[in-house]
Amino acid sequence: MPLHSYLFVPGDRPERFSKALATAAHQVVIDLEDAVAPEGKIQAREGLSKWLRDGLPDIDKERVVIRVNAYGTPWHEDDVKMLRESSVTRIMVPKAEAASELADIASRCGKAVSLIALIESVAGVVEMRAIAHEKAVSRLAFGSFDYCVDAGVEDSGRELDYVRSQFVIESRYAGLAAPVDGVTLSIDDADLIAADAASGRRFGFGAKLCIHPKQVEAVNRGFAPSDADFAWAERVLAKLAENPRGAIAVDGKLVDKPIVDKAKRIIASFTR
């Protein structure tokens, strides 16, 4: 199943972990980094370790991602050690800026892990190609607001078009899943959330970070093919079946191999 929504939940609120898993979020990101104050990080890690051992149902293990503290911080090594001893294999690495750091994290986990490289700085963008080609990395994610602060960019719209294109290009070049777009700060504006999701999808992103359960439905809907998309794809493949070797047209437009490939992707990803 395509993974379109990544819902953050604070790592020091274990009573919310199961509630987050009860939502329609495709992935639940338990956050030991920004969501936890420095003085609470050790306790949060200990509480998460206990929940992973005693409270996480086997059926949900593939839906859980842990965002560790950034490489080089006082809490990072113990976060990775905790994950090494757990059954979780999906890790979000914040402030990803060097492929060598990601490789080191993967090696210290002592098992096959899937790293989501959260790129949030100019340095990370500059090193994006190497990061995307690190073998433990499965996906890139855009920490758009942190990036804006670091780069001195004053808005997160068209000002980020160049950087967004880099995420899409480097993900495709490395053979990764389409990247994960940054958060929308509004929680209650469903129209804005849907518009941001639609914009991300048009740009070539395949998912979006969510900061509240209210955002999940709009994000899932925004990245999934619509009924109209599915109907169009069915028409394309039906025409192709009728004439597999000749030129075909659908809705008055010529159809070539890239269009057929797009139709096949839509059919494969569509969930009713």
Summarize the annotated binding site for substrate as residue ranges. 67, 120
Q: 142 and 68 in one domain?
A: yes
Buried b (16+ CB within 10 A) or exposed e, 246-257: eebebeeeebee
Residues 144 and 115 sit within 8 Å (Cβ to Cβ): no
Supply the range of the domain harboring residue 248.
Answer: 227-269
CATH of residue 73's domain is 3.20.20.60
255 pLDDT more than 80: yes
Residue 272 pLDDT grade (very low, low, confident, very high; cuts 50, 70, 90):
very low
Q: pLDDT tens digits, residue range 104-129?
A: 999 999 889 999 999 999 999 999 99
137 pLDDT more than 60: yes
Q: Which of 185, 200, 223 is the last residue of a domain?
A: 223
Q: 148 and 262 in one domain?
A: no
Comparing 208 with 232, which gets the higher pLDDT? 208
Q: 96 and 72 in one domain?
A: yes
Q: 160 and 258 in one domain?
A: no
Q: 211 and 175 in one domain?
A: yes
CA angle 186, 211, 135 (to 5 degrees): 130
* Residues in a beta bridge with 67: 31, 92
Q: 240 and 199 in one domain?
A: no
pLDDT at 227: 77
Q: 233 and 219 in one domain?
A: no
CA angle 85, 94, 77 (to 5 degrees): 35
Summarize the annotated binding site as residue ranges. 67, 120, 146
Return the closest-CA partner of residue 8 out of 98, 23, 99: 23
Q: pLDDT tens digits, residue range 17-66?
A: 999 999 999 999 999 999 999 999 999 999 999 999 999 999 999 999 99
Summarize the annotated binding site for Mg(2+) as residue ranges. 120, 146
Residue 271 pLDDT grade (very low, low, confident, very high; cuts 50, 70, 90):
low
81 pLDDT more than 70: yes
Q: 211 and 149 in one domain?
A: yes
CA-to-CA distance for 22 and 2, rounded, in angstroms?
A: 18
Choice among 132-141, 175-184, 246-255 with the minimum mean pLDDT: 246-255
Which pair of tokens denotes residue 211? 């900061």
Tell me how many domains the chain contains: 2
Q: 148 and 232 in one domain?
A: no
Mean predicted lDDT score pLDDT of the chain: 93
Q: 145 and 179 in one domain?
A: yes
Return the closest-CA partner of residue 137 out of 183, 72, 77, 91: 91
CA-to-CA distance for 4 and 73, rounded, in angstroms?
A: 30
Q: 70 and 119 in one domain?
A: yes
Residue 226 pLDDT grade (very low, low, confident, very high; cuts 50, 70, 90):
confident
